[in-house]
Amino acid sequence: MSALDTVTAVVRGRHRRALRRRAMLGLLAVLIVAGFLVTLTSGRTYYPLSDVLDVVLGETVPGASFTVGELRLPRAVLAVLSGFCFGLGGVTFQTMLRNALASPDIIGITYGASAAAVFAIVTLDLSETGVSAFAIVAALAVALLIYLLSFRDGVVGTRLILIGIGIAAMLNSVVSYLLSQAGQWDLQEATRWLAGSLNNATWEQVVPVAAAAVVLTPVLLAQARNLTMLELGDDTAAALGIRLERTRLIVIVGAVGLIAFATAATGPIAFVAFLAGPIAARLFGAGGILLLPAALVGALLVLVADFVGQFAFGTRYPVGVITGVLGAPYLIYLIVRSNRSGGSL
Amino acid sequence: MTTDHSLTVENLVLGYKDRDVIESLDLVVPPGKITAIVGPNACGKSTLLRSMTRLLAPRAGHVLLDGEEVHRIPPKELARTLGLLPQSPIAPEGITVADLVSRGRHPHQRVLARWSREDDRAVAAALDATHTAELADRSVDELSGGQRQRVWIAMALAQQTDLLLLDEPTTFLDVSHQVEVLDLLTDLNHARGTTIVMVLHDLNMAARYADHLIALAAGRLHAAGEPAEVLTEECVRAVFGLESRVILDPTSGKPLMLPLGRYHVSAPADS
């Protein structure tokens, strides 16, 4: 190929990838909007789209105002927002540590929130806001602990993952102990929270998650390119001009913040943070920046899983049960595959 | 274009934890030339390269690029002058050649700036120079070892640095791919005047391709200079603890080292 041909080919290839990316992002956005509208109109009672729009615009429609405005709308908004946060936080960790297993719901950060929330419910008898605040602080503290424990001349991905899994196991036993001590009423509330659920979604729950997403998403997106350089290994990333520890710190705080706020509102919706990144990588192809794609995949995942959990079966299942059923086989697949290729993790 | 840059090491001490790996090292990298660093395992070759790209801070002494402390130069600015290809770089799963090579443009891009015409030209030139243009849309995972190494070199070329450091660029490659990679680096040196510093295991390849040879032993400089001066039987004995014969390579006129083990040697060393 002559030099000019190569330039043309490079430009064409870049445009092709950009086009595919935009098309896929557009498709995901359309699916989210469509899913959003379906969950608003359908359910035990059907309300036509015009009624739904009237309610959204603040008009009073008998019946629909309550069902759509007070029940379905905050629930759908919380589904999209929490899914967005889980997806974005999860893929950030996975990219930074170059390992799909490095998702916050596997390495113990989400467990930190769970243990704190159960403690707040069972032992301290806190209100809903208190439980959320407790969960957020605990998630950040556990993330810090894992980071410090695995720090030795910088952070190595596999060491952090193994320490995280260990901490997750410890926190899990803390949760079991607390549950065994819980009274009847607290037990119900705690287990509902642990399953990850959008039942009883209210606007009061939506606000903090929305605020976290608005503040932290730009922080992470601004680091997106640095983050993809980290994927090439620390030495290469440094040679390309990345400040390793600073990038890691910003990114960890941002991702943990998103995960913590979302978990505080909905409970740990199983495996969304873990699944969104790999699904986005399949859809968008590796090599690009997967932050926004994974965030949209997460949003769609929670929205659809919640709708399926509510209406696809005879009984209503919390959303975490549905995503758990989807995620567990993938986790097994990942472990089996890395065993086969001889990798340690 | 690179002859205006100087890379020097003064009184350098490097180490990890409680162990010093490099003790009081002084070096000058000749600009516009190919330098090869040789020495036994664990003599501090890779450590030295890492400190030259600010991956490792010196315990004492200085690494100076154009007279300025490398560790004081802002990372992105340094990355526009000095590139490094580490020994085992990691390719993200499924990434295409074009995407990987494009990442070499990172130091030239601002946070929110769009991809420029200049970036496209640099990537295309890097692909052409390494004969990887036909592989552009392939996934890096599918490539052979030799192809993959050319792609990594392409990424380093896209970075368009005047100095390029490579840590054992030929390890794990068969002999034809070793020659291919070293020829490629020589092309680069001749065409653009890029200063090349590489750690090599193979003494004969180092002697053949390098203009300047640096022999390290146990964290100290043993000898530095033209291959004919450095690669001698005494040097091999002192640095590697190995008896050898060094003859003139009839194909290149450079020194050629023949190791003398305990077996299969019919002519004794003292001919």
Q: Which long-range contacts (CB under 8 A, 24 or more apart) does A174-183 make?
A: A174/A115, A174/A119, A175/A111, A175/A114, A175/A115, A175/A118, A178/A115, A178/A118, A178/A119, A178/A122, A178/A123, A179/A118, A179/A122, A181/A122, A181/A123, A182/A118, A182/A121, A182/A122, A183/A122
Closest by Cβ to B92, choosing from A1, A238, A286? A286
Question: Along the 345 residues of chain A, how does pLDDT read in single tens digits?
Answer: 566 788 888 888 888 888 989 999 999 999 999 999 999 888 878 888 888 888 888 888 887 888 888 888 999 999 999 999 999 999 999 998 888 888 888 888 888 888 888 888 888 878 778 888 888 899 989 998 988 888 776 666 788 888 999 999 999 899 899 888 888 888 888 888 888 888 888 888 899 999 999 999 999 999 998 998 988 888 899 999 999 888 988 999 999 999 999 998 888 888 899 999 988 988 887 777 899 999 999 999 999 999 988 888 878 888 888 888 888 888 788 777 765 554 445
Rounded CA separation B150/B143 (Å): 10
Which 8-state DSSP code applies to residue B139? Answer: B
Q: Report in angstroms the alpha-carbon separations of A116 from A31, A90, A126, B44, B49.
A: 35, 20, 11, 48, 47
Q: Which two tokens stand for residue B21?
A: 């790996």
**A19 interfaces chain B, CB cutoff of 8 Å:** no
∠ CA B201-B202-B208 to the nearest 5 degrees?
130
Backbone angles phi, psi at B34, to 5 degrees: -100, 120
For B65-80, what is the mean pLDDT?
90
**End-to-end distance of chain B based on CA atoms, in angstroms?**
46
Which of A240, A247, A283, A289 would best serve as a mutation to test chain B binding (most B beta carbons within 10 A)? A240
- Angle of helix B175-192 versus helix B145-158 axis, rounded to 10: 20
Q: Which two tokens stand for residue B220?
A: 């100290």
Q: Report in angstroms the alpha-carbon separations of A296 from A99, A213, A224.
A: 20, 13, 16
Residue found under tokens 């350089």: A229
Rounded CA separation A239/B199 (Å): 16
**Residue B99 clears pLDDT 50, i.e. is over it:** yes
B76 and A231 within 8 Å at the Cβ level: the answer is no
Provide the residue type at A281 as one letter. Answer: A
Please state whether the predicted TM-score (pTM) of the whole model is above 0.90.
Answer: no
Provide ipTM, 2 decimals.
0.88
Query: What ranges in chain A are assigned the alpha helix state H?
Result: 3-41, 49-56, 64-66, 73-96, 109-122, 128-149, 157-181, 184-195, 203-222, 224-230, 234-239, 244-266, 272-284, 291-311, 319-340
Which 8-state DSSP code applies to residue B226? Answer: -
Rounded CA separation B247/B203 (Å): 13
Residue found under tokens 């399949």: A282
User: What residues of B are in contact with residue A11 (Cβ under 8 Å)?
Assistant: 120
Q: Which two tokens stand for residue A313?
A: 């079966």
B120 and A14 within 8 Å at the Cβ level: the answer is yes
Rounded CA separation A229/A241 (Å): 9
Backbone angles phi, psi at B217, to 5 degrees: -140, 125
Across A101-105, A231-235, B186-190, B263-267, the highest mean pLDDT is recorded for: B186-190
For A94, name the nearest residue in chain B, comparing CA atoms only. B92
Residue found under tokens 């903090």: A208
Rounded CA separation A39/A306 (Å): 9
**A235 interfaces chain B, CB cutoff of 8 Å:** yes
Rounded CA separation A215/A85 (Å): 11
With CA atoms as reference, report the closest residue to B234 among B253, B218, B257, B252. B257
For residue B47, the number of C-alpha atoms closer than 13 Å in the C-beta half-sphere is: 23
**A341 interfaces chain B, CB cutoff of 8 Å:** no
How many Å lie between the alpha carbon of B221 and the closest alpha carbon of chain A? 24
